[in-house]
Amino acid sequence: PTIYAITPTYSRPVQKAELTRLANTFRQVAQLHWILVEDAAARSELVSRFLARAGLPSTHLHVPTPRRYKRPGLPRATEQRNAGLAWLRQRHQHQQRAQPGVLFFADDDNTYSLELFQEMRTTRKVSVWPVGLVGGRRYERPLVENGKVVGWYTGWRADRPFAIDMAGFAVSLQVILSNPKAVFKRRGSQPGMQESDFLKQITTVEELEPKANNCTKVLVWHTRTEKVNLANEPKYHLDTVKIEV
């Protein structure tokens, strides 16, 4: 099956560095289609040029987050992930049977091992695995008994129906297509509940397929990049040539 990675991304000083790390990983994964969705009113030249040279099958989308939702404490990238879902559904709408495919949401700042892709490729409906460096702990993970998810090891809001980060699950294309209305919602979605709100629409906890040796191996990390210090950027004496950053 093809792995579709939906990556929301937005303009900031570290953007190209993040995308470079991500492309260097994805390039090593067979049959991966990268759906990069810019949080912007138009496709930027930086990302267009970057993708053209990235050497990966990709689709470049864009949708701006409405200004009212650009606030601390509100979920990020809702519109961008939905744009990726809409593209996938549109692309496969005329097929009688879904082509084998697996979707996952790959934020641009996380760290992904290559083993993760081998694990998710065998997803039948919805698969799950641990995520490192999240929830105020070294990792969060689904608790597994007899091959079934029975609960969650997490340091944060253990009452979430699916106490899992965006980086902790994959969904088969078949499930995406047979639940055409499943999307990320702004209304009523509290911070940190996006994953649960989405997963509730397409699966149940009992149905989840544990990966990474019954969820005992961390294969993806919720790393976050430090905000860069640009205090010494010149205000007047600008560099005399145009530099691609």
**Residues in region 43-62 near ligand UGA by CB under 6 A:** none
Q: Which does 209 bind (CB under 5 to 8 A by kind): ligand UGA, Mn ion, none?
A: none
Q: Where are the alpha helices (DSSP H) in the chain?
A: 15-26, 45-52, 78-91, 114-120, 173-178, 194-202, 212-215
- Asked if 135 is part of the footprint of ligand UGA (rule: CB under 6 A), the reply reads no
Please, which residue, 24 or 213, has the CB nearer to Mn ion? 24
Q: Which does 83 bind (CB under 5 to 8 A by kind): ligand UGA, Mn ion, none?
A: none
Q: How far is the CB of 201 from Mn ion (least distance, A)?
A: 23
Known catalytic membership, residue 195: yes
Exactly one of 6, 9, 19, 83 binds ligand UGA (CB under 6 A); that residue is 9
Task: Please give the DSSP secondary-structure letter assigned to residue 197.
Answer: H
Binding site for Mn ion (CB under 5 A): 107, 109
Is residue 76 a known part of a binding site? yes
CA–CA separation, 152 vs 42, rounded Å? 39
Tell me which of 115, 195, 207, 233 is the catalytic residue. 195
Burial class (CB in 10 A: 0-12, 13-18, 19+), 28: exposed
Q: Which does 123 bind (CB under 5 to 8 A by kind): ligand UGA, Mn ion, none?
A: none
- Asked if 10 is part of the footprint of ligand UGA (rule: CB under 6 A), the reply reads yes
Burial class (CB in 10 A: 0-12, 13-18, 19+), 142: buried
- Asked if 140 is part of the footprint of ligand UGA (rule: CB under 6 A), the reply reads no
CA–CA separation, 239 vs 93, rounded Å? 50
- Closest residue by Cα to residue 47 from 30, 22, 68, 27: 22
Binding residues for Mn(2+): 109
List of residues contacting ligand UGA (CB under 6 A): 7-10, 39, 65, 70, 75-77, 80, 107-109, 165-166, 191, 194, 222, 224
Active site positions, annotated: 195
